[in-house]
Amino acid sequence: MQHRREYPQVRVNYVNGSPPSLTLITDDNDESDQLRMDSWKLEDILEFLQNTFKG
């Protein structure tokens, strides 16, 4: 993925049969939120990451 260098704090886990989701983890490694991404396009994901990590 060409955007990987822009967001080194993002890790991808592939789970067979699981709907796509985004899990936000705090600095203490606690799960803070989980978002379903079934209908998200690449542009939506990049916008979310930009607003979350650079905003």
Q: pLDDT tens across 16-42, in order?
A: 999 999 888 888 888 788 899 999 999
Closest CA to 37 of 51, 24, 28: 24
Tokens of 11: 């890790």
Tokens of 52: 């979350």
Name the residue ranges covered by the structural domains of the chain.
4-53
Q: What pTM does this model have?
A: 0.70
Q: How far apart are CA 32 and CA 1, in angstroms?
A: 25
Q: pLDDT tens across 35-54, in order?
A: 999 999 999 999 998 998 87
